[in-house]
Amino acid sequence: MTEKDAAFETRLRDTASAVESLLVSLLSDAPLSGEITRPARLMAAMRHGSLNGGKRLRPFLVVETARLLGGSPAAALRVGTALECLHCYSLIHDDLPAMDDDDLRRGQPTVHKAYDEATAILAGDSLLTYAFDIIAAQETDVPDAARAELVLALARAAGAGGMAGGQALDLAAENEAPDEAGIMTLQAMKTGALLRFACEAGAIIAGSPLKDRERLQAFGRTIGLAFQLADDLLDVTSDTATLGKAAGKDAGRGKGTLVALHGVAWAEARLEALTVEALELLSPYGEAADVLREAARFVAGRSR
């Protein structure tokens, strides 16, 4: 492991642990001002669905882009944690019987298995709602305009024109395989939009000029594409290696991926090109962006 790798790993772990601590405190049973009471079982389901030892990649990107541009670390941690609540809501709802119907996540029963379906729906709804609460609260120490802007950018990334719409397209893809453009749109929405928001959020928190905001947004979009490609490659290569199947779960379920369309060699070359593109986007920032460079390599390297 190089020195840069080690620095990256340490920061990733430190941010994950700060996010976990903040989640524990935010998801306590004690109601906040303006709340009436917090039903214990619902809160437990929300904790079950969010305190599950994830890598917290999205909060990490918020924290590191904010650090690069000189934004408040405390505000970035709160916005990152809000984003993680929203990400976890999407996993809870995606796992539901009517959606992907998964019983396990990270080796633990999914929320509807550990509790019940109605509680899982409400826990997801509540985590989604809470994401906007956390950003809009005074404790997120950025100017009022930035808080409103963060809410808006997150809502656009998460809603019908972003992540939720991507999940709708993904469900439709089980019946009718999308073409290449359709796959790109689906992936940009389902997984790309939140990663793009994560990187853009740092620039909003820092109050950076538009050119930085657009550059970080492009960086987020690029690593989002790499993230999905690495995921699709991982699916094929791990299945082939460990299960002896020629194609992975998603392809097997009739969902088109770029790997299925163009093959592994093409995908690996494309992943390399996306990584180079992501690194180039960071060139104006010099050494200060080294941790984000490692993050880009980390995202692309998930298939190795």
Q: Which of 9, 117, 180, 272 binds its own copies (CB under 8 A)?
A: 117
Which phi and psi angles does 86 have, rounded to 5°? -65, -40
Let me know how long the chain is.
Answer: 304
Q: How far is the CB of 231 from its own copies (least distance, A)?
A: 18
Comparison of 6 and 32: residue with beta carbon closer to its own copies: 32
Q: How far is the CB of 237 from its own copies (least distance, A)?
A: 28
Comparison of 188 and 299: residue with beta carbon closer to its own copies: 188
Does residue number 204 form part of the binding site for its own copies (CB under 8 A)? no
Comparison of 48 and 293: residue with beta carbon closer to its own copies: 48
Closest Cα to residue 302, out of 228, 193, 220? Answer: 228
DSSP 210-252: HHHHHHHHHHHHHHHHHHHHHHHHHHHHHIIIII--SS-HHHH
CB 206 within 8 A of CB 178: no
Does residue number 43 form part of the binding site for its own copies (CB under 8 A)? yes
CB 186 within 8 A of CB 192: no
Q: Show the binding pattern over residues 76-115: x = contacts its own copies (CB under 8 A), - = does not.
A: -------------x---x--x-xx----------------
Comparison of 94 and 239: residue with beta carbon closer to its own copies: 94
CB 92 within 8 A of CB 49: yes
The DSSP letter of residue 31 is P
Place of tokens 């690495």: 230
Q: How far is the CB of 126 from its own copies (least distance, A)?
A: 4
Site for its own copies in 119-178 (CB under 8 A): 119, 121-122, 124-126, 128-130, 132-133, 135-137, 143-145, 147-149, 151-153, 155-162, 164-169, 171-172
Does residue number 302 form part of the binding site for its own copies (CB under 8 A)? no
Burial of 234 (0-12, 13-18, 19+ CB in 10 A): middle
How many angstroms separate the Cα of 191 from the Cα of each of 159, 214, 267, 293? 12, 19, 18, 20
Which phi and psi angles does 38 have, rounded to 5°? -115, 110
Q: Which of 14, 116, 180, 280 binds its own copies (CB under 8 A)?
A: 116
Q: Which of 4, 21, 28, 39 binds its own copies (CB under 8 A)?
A: 39
Q: Show the binding pattern over residues 231-260: x = contacts its own copies (CB under 8 A), - = does not.
A: ------------------------------
Burial of 182 (0-12, 13-18, 19+ CB in 10 A): middle
Total of residues contacting its own copies (CB under 8 A): 64
Q: How far is the CB of 130 from its own copies (least distance, A)?
A: 5
Six token digits for residue 50: 């969010």
Which residues in this chain contact its own copies in the complex, by CB under 8 A? 31-39, 41-43, 46, 89, 93, 96, 98-99, 116-119, 121-122, 124-126, 128-130, 132-133, 135-137, 143-145, 147-149, 151-153, 155-162, 164-169, 171-172, 185, 188-189, 193
